[in-house]
Amino acid sequence: MAEKQEKEKQRHFMVRFDIEGNNIKTSMKTENVSMQESLGLLDMAKDQILDNLKKGRKDLFHVSKKDGSE
């Protein structure tokens, strides 16, 4: 059982932007995610934002549950 838990390590990549007036503060936290994966995830988020802007959508992010359902 411990081996299964070890194989299924939780992975997190979080980016936060705090916008205060003309100042933007950024912070990033990763857990079990490589820098290359982080770049790929940022690129995916950018593409999703651009696609939604092209569609004229106000809700820029598509949200899904952990099990993959919407």
Q: In the numeric block, which tokens belong to residue 27?
A: 């912070």
Instruction: Give domain limits for the chain.
Output: 2-54
Given a cut of 70, is residue 5 above it in pLDDT? no
Q: What is the pTM of this model?
A: 0.62
Given a cut of 90, is residue 58 above it in pLDDT? no
Q: Within 13 Å of residue 50, how many CA atoms lie on the same side as its CB?
A: 6
Question: Which amino acid makes up residue 35?
Answer: M
Lookup result for tokens 């995830």: 41
The C-alpha atoms of residue 66 and residue 27 are separated, in whole angstroms, by: 24
> Kind and range of the H or E element at 45?
helix 35-54
Beta strands in 1-70 (DSSP E): 12-20, 23-31
Q: List pLDDT tens digits, range 8-25.
A: 789 999 999 999 999 999
The residues with which 14 forms a beta bridge, in sequence order, are: 29
